[in-house]
Chains A and B, each alone.
Chain A
Amino acid sequence: MLPCTGRIDEALLLKAFENGADGVMVVGCLEGDCHYISGNIRARARVKRVYAILEQIKIGPNRIRMYNLSAGEGSKFAAYANEFVDQIVELGPSPINLARGGGVQAAKEEETT
């Protein structure tokens, strides 16, 4: 829970991966509907940068994704969460977790991050 996705930064997103996350889903308001005007736009740029970093270091860019939703779209949120979880399950455990000899971290849990 953040006041706005505009609060999240690249270091924290990467920290989640260091911490063993197999995927990180960032969910913000619809573009144009940010409660703080432009927070989600800035978040999008930061997610994009992390995406590029993950690609460069071969963790896999598709382990991070930003979604935009309105507060009234509970079912859509569920659909997105499932979609993302499926995507992560398909990708399998992150190379970090593999290197740690695990892969134990169930991807299913990502939806709360």
Chain B
Amino acid sequence: MITGTPKPIDEVLEMLEPYDNIILAGCHGCVTVCRVGGEKEVQVLASTLRLAREASGKKIEIREVSLERQCDPEYVEQMRPYVEDYQAVLSIACGAGIQFLAEKITTTPLLPGINTGFLGVTERQGEWTERCQGCGDCVLHLTGGICPVTRCAKSLFHGPCGGSVRGICEVDKEIKCGWQLIIDRLVALDQMENYGKLKPYKGWNSARDGGPRRIIREDMI
């Protein structure tokens, strides 16, 4: 899932400075799951902004909406009938959703209400961690299902580096050494023979380094 964190309220208020009636748009997708952009957050942020603005003597009108997904054109279109009535749209969907809105709704400024994070998982309620960088060339079958690109701070293919101590990465004591995890898993799976099979240099062209990517599947169009 795509994760994110709320933007500091001051930053949002600054963005909203020129406007006095806006749409606050949530998304029922990933940001609902990671509890940063769903219906409830729309309500909380809307209340917060109204309070802040009214206290500062400049009331703001906020239309609270939640789209099914801001990354699909049909859902985005649902906003079309009324979007012209507002000066701006504050979206608390992920960066993809916000951009998609901005692309489709060209006449109204689009503002981000959250900082988009990463492709991650829920460790427990309220804690998410990164798992995938979308490099476009998956090697998990060789690494015990643990991604060296994402889980190693240096994206090494032959870790761990000398900075791995007691399973902890040198970068942060809260980060587990990805390669320690890989090796532990390979040992457990009796697949240590996979260690070292990653000699070919990784092709980053399938990752973001190849420029903005697109996926076209002819059979699905």
Contact = CB atoms under 8 A, between A and B. Distances in A.
Interface of A: 9-11, 14-15, 17-18, 53, 56-59, 94-96, 98-100
Given A9-B40, A56-B9, A57-B9, A96 B48 contact: no
Contacts of A15: 47
B55 A14 contact: no
A14 B10 contact: no
Contact of A10 (B10, B44, B57): B44
Nearest to A53: B48
B184 interface: no
A99 B55 CA distance: 6
A39 to B, nearest CB: 15
B9 to A, nearest CB: 5
Interface residues of B, number: 16
B142 interface: no
Contacts, number: 51
A18 B51 contact: yes
Nearest to B40: A11
Interface in B1-33: 8-10, 13
Contacts of A14: 44, 47-48, 51
Contacts of A95: 54-56
Interface of A is mostly: helix
B45 to A, nearest CB: 9
The 7 A-B pairs with the shortest beta carbon distances in the complex, nearest first, are A14-B47, A57-B52, A95-B55, A11-B43, A56-B9, A10-B44, A11-B44
A96 B40 contact: no
Contacts of B13: 57
B44 A59 contact: no
A41 B179 CA distance: 38
Nearest to A17: B51
A96 B51 contact: yes
Contact of B51 (A9, A10, A59): A59
A9 B56 CA distance: 25
10 contacts: A15-B47, A18-B51, A56-B8, A56-B10, A56-B52, A57-B13, A58-B55, A58-B56, A99-B57, A100-B54
